[in-house]
Structure 1
Amino acid sequence: MTAAEPGGGAPPRSRVVVRTAVRRFVVLSIVTLLVLGAGAVFVCHRIAQDSALAEAQLRGATLAGTVAAPLVDERVRERDPEAMASLGTVLRRSMAVGSIRHVKLWTPEGRVLWSDESELIGRTYDLEPVVDGLVGTTRTVAELSLLDKAENVSERSEVELLEVYAGARDADGKDLVFEAYYSTAEMREREQEILGAILPVALGGLLLFQVAVMPLAISLARRVERGELQRIRLLRQTVLTTHRERLRIARDLHDGVVQDLAGLRYALPVVAAHVSDAPEAAAARDTLEQAREILGRDVEALRSLLVDIHPPGLEGTAFRDAVEDLAERTRRAGPEVWLEMPERSEWSIDVARVCYRVVQEALRNVATHAGAANAWVDVETVERQVRVVVADDGRGMPPGGTQDGHVGLRLLATHLEDLGGSLEVAPRPGGGTLLRALVPADLPAGT
């Protein structure tokens, strides 16, 4: 089969790689936008919550110091009905004009002096440390309450409220703690306002940035595509040149040196026939016979070299026949070789040629370096690649797992990487060495 000349458009595999890269960039950009959007929502939520808590603290401190505490005196502590009614009227009026849902007044001992939920008045509960720390001060604390405390039994249907505690002193100068629960509706409205103000700007800026970057990404992808195309063209031209040079060397050897040596080998018996049978000519006859044997071995070696330089046709069943020939030559060196491969290959001549080189180099190393009794060759198609595995039960890899001195393997690995494949050499489980090569099944013509 004649190798195709380089040229044409970008190979399909190159286009697929570029499209995949652009698609991946777009997907990652969308994911980034979603993550940043979620982050913006979280930040806005925190800003709204912190703002609502700060406002609730201010309201609670104001209500505690200017409204509730001045109305608490000894009569309220004694639960005088008139004093309790007067306090309740003022506090309920404050609740009606604000977003306050519930109010409690506490003594330092944890007794409820007053509550809009009358059943709690007079009951005693353990104050939390943070609340107990407000006694004797005018400080405030606020939090988003989960309504899971003992005194929140009647409030749990409301799911969540803003809870504010404020320290204060009553009309008699005694310490008390003011507690108020505010609705979270205003906080949620504030959160939506902040989201409406920040999110469009944040996501809009990011989206504009992505839109601005997209043409650059597409331009870069096209440059990569052109570079990949140029690389493949150069690789194709290099491999094609190498292939043609191998063919020229093989042809010159076959038509020149091999023919001359073969002719000389057949001429030696004729010369020997003219040598005298006298005892003193025995040495000459032996020399001629030795020369004939040496020439025979050299001719066979050169013919074997010709096959290595330029293997025979590898289409269809010829590929298995060629690998069988490699296996037979390896068997003559000692190891038994076992083959597992299809009777007829469906690969292109270019893929078959690369696979043949892999098996050839691997079996050469088995015969020369491994000291193995058995070798196994497995060739099969895996997805869009052809996998070639050659294993042996020999002495294995040298310490450290290096391939020092194995120039052929290093060159083969480089060649496969240039083609988009890979080569891995590792210890074989149970002893020996395992070579695994992956060859793209869609190699361009001329590879």
Structure 2
Amino acid sequence: MPAVRRHPPSDGASPARRPPSTASAVGRFMLGSLVAIAVVVVGGFFALRSVAIDEAERDTRERVEAEGRLVQVAGLSDGLLSGDPRAIRRLDDVVQAQVLGGSVVRVKVWARDGRVLYADEPRLIGERFPLEPEEAELFATGGSEAELSDLRLAENRFERDAGELLEAHTVVRLPDGTPVLFEIYQRFSSVTASGERILGTLAPPLLAGLAVLLLFQAPLAWGMARRLRRGHAEREHLLAAAVASSAAERRRIAADLHDGVVQDLAGVAFGLAPLADDARRRGDEDGARVLDGTVERLRQGVRDLRTTLVELHPPNVGATGLAAALEDLLSPLRRDGTTASLDVDPALAAGTRHDELVYRTAREAVRNVRRHARAGHVDLVVRATGDGGVALRVADDGVGFDAADRAARAAEGHVGLRLATELAAGAGGRLAVSSTPGAGTVVDLELPA
């Protein structure tokens, strides 16, 4: 088998593929819908959790304000600022009885200078820690503020065993009007529990709605997939009908030419040949030369028309054999001065079910070489593949083309290889065209067993 040059990867149109089955298409649609639902559910979970936490923090701020008013009325006395034990005991009684318990695990009262005036943990009373900017700002603005506790701070060393906490602050006043900072520490688990309750309330109807939507979409997707498959089948049927119609029209034109013009021209040439001999016997050499030239032109015209007939209506590959049909296909190239080699695998001599498609593809490739390539050499190779299939390669050393050239030819109606590509895909194979300007063109056809 002669060596055939390798070219860059194909930039031609990829072969058409059969659409997936209806069940496969619907299955992929349902899988995509389930993924989308999962994204919605996960995103909704985090969104709702964020909303729930914000709502719980708002509730915590409201709680610290309510507890602060209770402590201000029932537990604060002026002696707290000076560390009077009686003032501390009075406040501790109110805190232990009405504030601590449940989700609240710690209570502190701060002076403006960062001194702990009261804590239900007595070891903290009297210690001094710097206030955070947000806490110090409350002395001027009032209101309340809540945030996650930083248990790494020294002021929170006795709360580290309580787990993650949410601390809230508000300003209250001693009976003499001195502002102090009232602080409570609440278990963060109570906040997340509130968010989970909200999520648990909203999630069932949301998931039910998404499930109902998916169930309604399934029959619609099934119907759409079936319509797409019908459309594909109709397109293939139309393509086959177009090819059959084209072949029938080619046969009709070829028959008309063969039975009409070709026969008439052959008859005229046959009738003029004796006249040239008569003129030569009479010594009219000029007349004989004119008649001989006319006869030769007529015979060349007949040969050209017969070549056209072969292109219009190729020989019956099954009757002549693939190798003979391809040899006839290369004859016009050789007559035009192009060197053409043919190599057909002997294993294919008995013929295969793909012979017609192999011949059709080779004919389109050779036709393009004659019309566009300006090639000096063409290799046509047909071989049996390892899996029992057939492979065709037509390679030339012509001018080649780029994607823009191919698109322009398609726009002008040159769709022979495109039709061959779709026919190859319909047979379970593939056709690839690779070309580089100035480096020739390679047409590769692969068909299964």
Distance 2:121 2:381 in 1: 84
> Alignment partner of 2:399: what SS?
coil
1:57-206 equivalences under 5 Å are 57-67=61-71, 71-73=75-77, 75-145=79-149, 147=151, 149=153, 151-156=155-160, 158-206=162-210
Of 239-248 and 14-23, the range deviating more from structure 2: 14-23
Distance 2:280 2:310 in 1: 41
Pick from 32, 44, 51 the counterpart of residue 28 of structure 1. Answer: 32
Tell me which residue corresponds to 1:355.
Answer: 361
Of 173-182 and 142-151, the range deviating more from structure 2: 142-151
Q: Are 1:300 and 2:300 matched, yes or no?
A: no
CA deviations on 1:358-401 (whole Å, 9 max, x unpaired) are 4234323xxx44445567889999x9999988675527559898
Residues 167, 358 of structure 1: alpha-carbon distance in 2 compared, 3 angstrom cutoff = farther
Distance 1:168 1:340 in 2: 102
Look up the equivalent residue of 1:403 and give its one-letter code.
A
- CA drift of 1:139 comes to 0.8
Distance 1:241 1:411 in 2: 14
* Residue pair 2:72, 2:173 contacting (<8 A) in 1 also: no
Look up the equivalent residue of 2:292 and give its one-letter code.
E
- CA drift of 1:49 comes to 1.4
Of 151-160 and 237-246, the range deviating more from structure 2: 151-160
Q: TM-score, normalised by structure 1?
A: 0.75
> Alignment partner of 1:409: what SS?
coil
Look up the equivalent residue of 2:279 and give its one-letter code.
V
* Residue pair 2:362, 2:394 contacting (<8 A) in 1 also: no
> Alignment partner of 1:394: what SS?
coil
CA deviations on 1:109-163 (whole Å, 9 max, x unpaired) are 3333333445544444443333332123431122345645554445455553323
Tell me which residue corresponds to 1:407.
Answer: 412
- CA drift of 1:206 comes to 1.9
Distance 1:51 1:407 in 2: 68
Of 412-421 and 253-262, the range deviating more from structure 2: 412-421
Tell me which residue corresponds to 2:290.
Answer: 287
Distance 1:294 1:178 in 2: 118
Residues 398, 142 of structure 1: alpha-carbon distance in 2 compared, 3 angstrom cutoff = closer
Look up the equivalent residue of 1:307 and give its one-letter code.
V
Distance 1:273 1:91 in 2: 140
Distance 1:299 1:432 in 2: 35
1:198-277 equivalences under 5 Å are 198-262=202-266, 264-266=268-270, 268-277=272-281
Residues 228, 401 of structure 1: alpha-carbon distance in 2 compared, 3 angstrom cutoff = closer
* Residue pair 1:136, 1:175 contacting (<8 A) in 2 also: no
- CA drift of 1:253 comes to 3.3
* Residue pair 1:361, 1:409 contacting (<8 A) in 2 also: no
Distance 1:57 1:387 in 2: 81
Aligned residues: 424
Distance 1:391 1:271 in 2: 45
* Residue pair 1:361, 1:408 contacting (<8 A) in 2 also: no
Distance 2:18 2:260 in 1: 43
Distance 1:335 1:157 in 2: 93
- CA drift of 1:201 comes to 1.0
Distance 1:393 1:53 in 2: 78
* Residue pair 2:333, 2:340 contacting (<8 A) in 1 also: yes
Listed as ranges, the gaps of 5+ residues in structure 2 are: 1-16
Tell me which residue corresponds to 2:314.
Answer: 311
- CA drift of 1:301 comes to 1.7
CA deviations on 1:167-188 (whole Å, 9 max, x unpaired) are 3323332222222221233333
* Residue pair 2:424, 2:431 contacting (<8 A) in 1 also: no
Tell me which residue corresponds to 2:41.
Answer: 37
Look up the equivalent residue of 1:66 and give its one-letter code.
L
CA deviations on 1:184-220 (whole Å, 9 max, x unpaired) are 3333333333223221211211211222232222223
Look up the equivalent residue of 1:59 and give its one-letter code.
R
Distance 2:199 2:226 in 1: 39
Distance 2:300 2:51 in 1: 90
Look up the equivalent residue of 1:362 and give its one-letter code.
N
Look up the equivalent residue of 1:198 and give its one-letter code.
L
> Alignment partner of 2:139: what SS?
coil
- CA drift of 1:39 comes to 3.0
> Alignment partner of 1:182: what SS?
strand
Residues 15, 99 of structure 1: alpha-carbon distance in 2 compared, 3 angstrom cutoff = same
Residues 252, 188 of structure 1: alpha-carbon distance in 2 compared, 3 angstrom cutoff = same
How much is the aligned-residue C-alpha RMSD, in angstroms? 4.5
Higher relative contact order (CA 8 A, sep 6+): 2
Distance 1:377 1:172 in 2: 109
Q: TM-score, normalised by structure 2?
A: 0.74
